[in-house]
Amino acid sequence: MVRLVVEGEEPAVNLLLRLAWILLTHRRRGPLGIWDEAVTPMMVAPTDLDPLLHMNNGKYLSLMDLGRVDLMVRAGLWPRLNALGWYPVVAAQTITYRRSLNPLQRFDLVTRVIGFDDRAVYVEQSFRRGGRIHASAIVKARFLKKTGGSVGIEELLSLTGPAPADLTLPTWVEEWSSRSRIRESAT
């Protein structure tokens, strides 16, 4: 008998299928600007559950990757990044859970850029169902070059176009970002 899924790889297959779905259906959700809010409809799959039969806390983080991809694809940024050999990585993230998401429940993952500093872009993502927030997160993302090094914010803005004049990174996010940096020990 051939094993199609190696133990421990089911979540990766599930995410790849969801990624394929997002890429195949993004036109139905309509085009966006990179500074717009993306609403990505999703459903809690059986592979998302933990032993308490609600969505596993780590699964939220994996699904957030897909929400950010949806925003970049719908904004037309994804193919342009790929053409330049640039790709996004998560540098830090923080999430607050408020309500559980249960098996087969539908929900929206809402993604929007809330600002940037000299090194990173900050994205707010929330899991919403029936007008209620179930979880909310802030993601600090950087863009790297396949040839090595990082993409500067000015380079990135030359690709995205200028940010809205009223886009200001909240002070608490700046403070969180500063505190979340890993510092090398002196020893």
Domains in the chain, CATH or no CATH each? 10-179 (3.10.129.10)
pLDDT along the chain (187 residues), means of 10: 44 84 93 97 95 95 98 97 98 98 98 96 98 98 98 96 95 95 72
Alpha helices in the chain (DSSP H): 10-29, 57-74, 77-84, 153-160, 171-179
* Cα 46 from Cα 127, distance rounded (Å): 18
Query: Given the structure tokens 């599930």, which residue do they identify?
Result: 14
pLDDT at position 2: 36
* Cα 154 from Cα 169, distance rounded (Å): 16
pLDDT at position 90: 98
Q: Identify the three-state secondary structure at position 89.
A: strand
pLDDT at position 186: 54
* Cα 110 from Cα 40, distance rounded (Å): 6
DSSP state of 15: H
- At position 181, the amino acid (one-letter code) is R
pLDDT at position 10: 54
With beta carbons less than 8 A apart as the criterion, state whether 39 and 8 touch: no
Q: Which tokens sit at 66?
A: 């897909």
With beta carbons less than 8 A apart as the criterion, state whether 43 and 106 touch: yes
Q: Which tokens sit at 26?
A: 């993004």
Is the CA virtual torsion 50, 54, 56, 59 positive or negative? positive
pLDDT at position 6: 43
